[in-house]
Amino acid sequence: MFTLLKQEAMKAWKQNRVYIWAILVFLVPIIIIPLFIPANTQSVAYGSFGGSGIIISVAGAVLPALTFSQEFTFGTIRPLLSRQYSRLQIFISKLITVLAEYILLIAIAFAGTMLGRQIYIGMHGSSQTSINFGDFFFAMLMEVVGGVFLIGVVILVSNIAKSSAAAISLGIVMSVATPILAAITTYLVKFWDGFKWNPLTILQGVQTYDNSAATKLDLHDYFGTGMWVVFLVYAVYLVLLYGIAFSIFNRRSV
């Protein structure tokens, strides 16, 4: 498995040029936060990594799509599968790589955000720049937890369509449209209460969760149960999503 991860890392660096994304998410908050964000919205800007949040969302669609579908596009899937490793090992090595890339980009964006904040303080003073790091890190954790679902969708589409373009497009659309679709599905719950357990509403619930008492109460009222049940259902959806994606990857003749 270590060898497979080393190979995936080499492809991430040399073929997919993940460092370009890393540089981007690091530099954007350093430029945006001190120069373009007014004092009264500084704390809001930190939550979106000074504009890098949207880049991370796009990278969260592009990188998994490339990691899986480029192997079909370039024909490299043949030597990849015609080896002493099982398809499960290959799938897991790719999955670990894309999750690691996602977490790494968030960590780098966080570092850029903190540096941007320090530059802002140096330029304008520390007024309205306070951060509750507990809440901040919890929000980052939820970002990763929510991102795992979108990455799963992209991986599923990559394996079905064998096309980077289709997977990237759907991933980007999903990252933008999920809140809209979730709002629609939330509206439809009025007509049938069971509909609230659909994956998009569950994803929205997970992403909304910020560990505050008020949010916990709101989500409890909406779902009619404790948050742990919502997380459990979310975990089941993830297992199904990745299970189907692997099943397609495992059966594919190339």
Partner 1 sequence: MSLLELNHVSKSFGSYKAMDNVSFSVEPGRIVALIGPNGAGKSTTMRAITGLMSYSQGEVTFDGQPVRFAKTTSLAKMGNLIEYPSIYPNFTARDHMNYYAMDAVDHADIDELMKLTGIDGPKFGKRKAKKFSLGMKQRLGIAIALIRNPKLVVLDEPMNGLDPQSVRDIRALIQSLAQKGIAFLISSHLLDELQRLADDVVIINRGKIIRQGTMSDFLGEGKAEIKVRTNDNAKMLEAAQDAGWEAHLSDDQVVITMTADVNAQKVLAKATEFNLDVTDIQTGQTNLEDHLLEVLSTDSTRV
The residues that touch partner 1, with contacts defined as CB under 8 A, are: 3-4, 6-7, 10-11, 14-15, 17, 74-87, 250, 253-254
- Find the shortest distance in angstroms from Cβ 4 to partner 1: 7
| Residue 172 CB, nearest approach to partner 1 (Å) | 22
Residue closer to partner 1 (CB basis): 76 or 215: 76
Helix and strand numbers, DSSP H then E, in the chain: 11, 0
Residue with Cβ nearer partner 1 (85 or 197): 85
The residue among 3 and 211 lying less far from partner 1, judged by its C-beta, is: 3
Give the residue with the Cβ less far from partner 1, 164 or 198.
164
Nearer Cβ to partner 1, position 85 or 222? 85
When the beta carbons of 9 and 227 are compared against partner 1, the nearer one is 9
Q: What is the 3-state secondary structure (H, E, C) of the chain?
A: CHHHHHHHHHHHHHHCCHHHHHHHHHHHHHHHHHHHCCHHHHHHHHHCHHHHHHHHHHHHHHHHHHHHHHHHHHCCHHHHHCCCCCHHHHHHHHHHHHHHHHHHHHHHHHHHHHHHHHHHHHHHCCCCCCCCHHHHHHHHHHHHHHHHHHHHHHHHHHHHHCCHHHHHHHHHHHHHHHHHHHHHHHHHCCCCHHHHHCHHHHHHHHHHCCCCHHHHHHHHHHHCCCHHHHHHHHHHHHHHHHHHHHHHHHHCCC
